[in-house]
Amino acid sequence: MKMSKERMDESILVCVYYGPNGERLIQRGCKIAKMLDCPLYILTVDPKPFDDLDPEKVHYIARWKELADQHSADAFIIKDNEKRPISKVIADVAREKNITQIILGQTAQSRWEQIAKGSIINSLLKEIPFVDLHIISVARFLKNTEGQFEKGVRAYLVQDENEYRLIFKHTKDVIYEGIFFKEFGTDFNNGIFKFMKDQKTLQVQVNDDIVTDFTNVDMNTNIDDDNFL
């Protein structure tokens, strides 16, 4: 007998933050909730009041609400003007909604920040130890490129005076870690470098191993629907 969506043995919470990865997280949560036929909640947290948010953030929230409606999510939850640590807010919502699985995006915390402040993941494991956490990394594919780029490979940026140089081996000088998508048909390292900066996903142009600025290249990430657990 098919169980109704209101079954309480499983319940999904997707936590989104501003940037292109938010839609990917929601799509992933929707697929898991559909498979399990269980409630789905989408949460975003901001320390500022909603009325003080800039147009870009308001646009993201409107898009997330639209996706929540399209996928019949049980609730889209906004915790604005929130001064508590994010992990505390997520934990409270998880308890209130009887959440059993939480979906989070890859954070932009450096290793030193994790040591000094503690990572969100570690905090959640302490707050709600019996909830499963799904950490979704930055996608290794680009969408709408018509075969222009090869499959992404792990790469790094090191600072070289006023520029950044692409390398493929981790060293102590690494500033950013991410995924490099090389253009087909070139002998040089030209393409797109995708990484996280200030908790946002950026895609920047690489020309002959060099990144000269962090202007975001407007491409959407592709969702690998076959590998979502």
Tokens of 29: 């949560």
pLDDT class of 118 with cuts at 50, 70, 90: low
Residue that wins the pLDDT comparison between 158 and 19? 158
Provide the percentage of residues in the chain whose pLDDT is more than 90.
44
Quick one: how far is CA 139 from the chain centroid?
Answer: 9
Q: What span, in angstroms and rounded, lies between the C-alpha atoms of 205 and 169?
A: 20
Give domain limits for the chain: 12-136, 153-211
In tens, the pLDDT along 58-114 reads 988 999 999 999 988 999 999 999 999 888 999 999 999 999 999 988 654 444 444
pLDDT of residue 113: 46
pLDDT of residue 18: 80
Provide the percentage of residues in the chain whose pLDDT is more than 70.
80
- The yes-or-no verdict on residue 139 having pLDDT over 70 is no
The lowest-confidence range among 67-71, 114-118, 197-201 is 114-118
Q: Which DSSP string do the residues of the chain spell out, in sequence order?
A: -PPPTT-SS--EEEE--SSTHHHHHHHHHHHHHHHHT--EEEEEE-SS-GGG--HHHHHHHHHHHHHHHHTT-SEEEEE-S--S-HHHHHHHHHHHTT-SEEEEEPP---HHHHHHH--HHHHHHHH-TTSEEEEEPPPS-BSS-TT-BPPPEEEEEEEETTEEEEESS--TTEEEEEEEEEBTT-SS--EEEEEEETTEEEEEEEBTTEE---PPP--PBPP-TT---
- The yes-or-no verdict on residue 203 having pLDDT over 70 is yes
- The yes-or-no verdict on residue 115 having pLDDT over 80 is no
Q: Is 76 exposed, middle or buried (0-12, 13-18, 19+ CB in 10 A)?
A: buried
To the question of pTM greater than 0.75 for the whole model, the response is: no
pLDDT of residue 147: 63
> What average pLDDT does the chain have?
82
- The yes-or-no verdict on residue 7 having pLDDT over 60 is no
pLDDT of residue 190: 93
User: Torsion angle of alpha carbons 206, 210, 216, 218, nearest 10°?
Assistant: -10
pLDDT class of 216 with cuts at 50, 70, 90: confident
- The yes-or-no verdict on residue 226 having pLDDT over 50 is no
pLDDT class of 17 with cuts at 50, 70, 90: confident
Q: Find the mean pLDDT for residues 146-164.
A: 86
**Fold assignment, 12-136:** Rossmann fold (3.40.50)
